[in-house]
A = this chain, B = another copy of it.
Amino acid sequence: MADMKRAADLLQSWDRILILSHRSPDGDTLGCASALSRALLALGKSVQFRCADPVPKNMAYLFAGIEYGDFEPERIVTVDVADKALLGALEPLGERVDLAIDHHGTHRPFAREIWVDDTAGAACQMIYKLVQVMGVEITPEIADCLYTGISTDTGCFRYSNASPETHRIAASLLECGARAAEINRAMFETKSRAAVELLKHVYGDMEFYHDGRCAVLCLTRALLEETGAGESELTGVSSFVRQVEGVLIGLTLQERGENEYKVSMRSNAPASAQAVCARFGGGGHKFAAGCTIHAPLEEAKAQIVAACGEALKAF
């Protein structure tokens, strides 16, 4: 496994580099790609960037002013990609990756050289250090890119993956000129009209069972079509149901096909989402698990709510 020094040496010796982000790109994979692009360009390299899915409109600023070249790539680098399947439509390129930079403990090696640091709250923390080892100055633009990845992957420093090092890097990035407040507003506060429509249903249609200790939300295909909500609006909705005071188990039932419902379950201690989902052939972690139920909506809901009731009897 390559370490940071090795990754820096390789990148400094290479040229005509193609950087790849994972499909359904988030702030971290795009923050890495844009910051690394800027750093390699500063070193005089020719750089390209590709992703199977488009860059979300609200993250376009990451790539503003970058001039990508038109050439046959000699080297391929992935950032924040834990598995080559996550390259999506670009998966065939996964066989030819020269260097993978990633922070997932679950990284499944696919590249010739890999540098994985699963203590990093965001892959952008790794790029922050790499850029400096390569002798590139952290410009305000690079600082914006790295701050975006760190802030989005840690829920704006909210989660347990925000370590002391995460905060110290954020401090340095602010000093380098990162526009933190503006970035956070764009990433966390601005809601699309579709999101507003979805939230109306989330808060309006949430049902409570078992003395308010179980909250249920049903997302039918008709509802999602009506609201116009897509994947980006749905992100995070499954955790909303757990956030209500008194709720030990929160679940969303999302219609996936004819009489097919995907259950996303979140629990608060001591309740185990995993234990309930296991009864339906599903799995996951103790507090975040899932399963699929094949039945009409009302029946699927009755089954899973009854199982939650059984589990809640213990508390």
Chain A contact residues, CB within 8 Å of chain B: 156-160, 162-168, 170-172, 174-175, 180-181, 184-185, 188-193, 196-197, 199-200, 202-204, 206, 212, 239, 243-246
With the chains together, A204 CA to B180 CA distance in Å?
31
CB distance A170 to B158 under 8 Å? no
Of A159, A192, A200, the most chain B CB neighbours within 10 A belong to: A200
CB distance B246 to A193 under 8 Å?
Answer: yes
Contact of A167 among B160, B170, B190, B239 (CB under 8 A): B170
Q: Are B196 and A203 in contact (CB under 8 A)?
A: yes
Q: Which 9 A-B pairs have the closest CB atoms?
A: A167-B171, A164-B171, A160-B181, A200-B203, A199-B203, A167-B167, A158-B184, A200-B204, A157-B157
Among A171, A175, A212: residue with most chain B CB under 10 A: A171
* A164, closest chain B residue (CB): B171
Residues of B close to A192: CB separation below 8 A: 244-245
Contact indicator A174/B163 (Cβ below 8 Å): yes
Which of A162, A184, A196, A245 gathers the greatest number of chain B CB atoms within 10 Å?
A196
The complex places the Cα of A189 from the Cα of B266 at a distance, in Å, of: 13
Please name all residues of chain B whose beta carbon is closer than 8 Å to the beta carbon of A243 when the two chains form the complex. Answer: 189-191
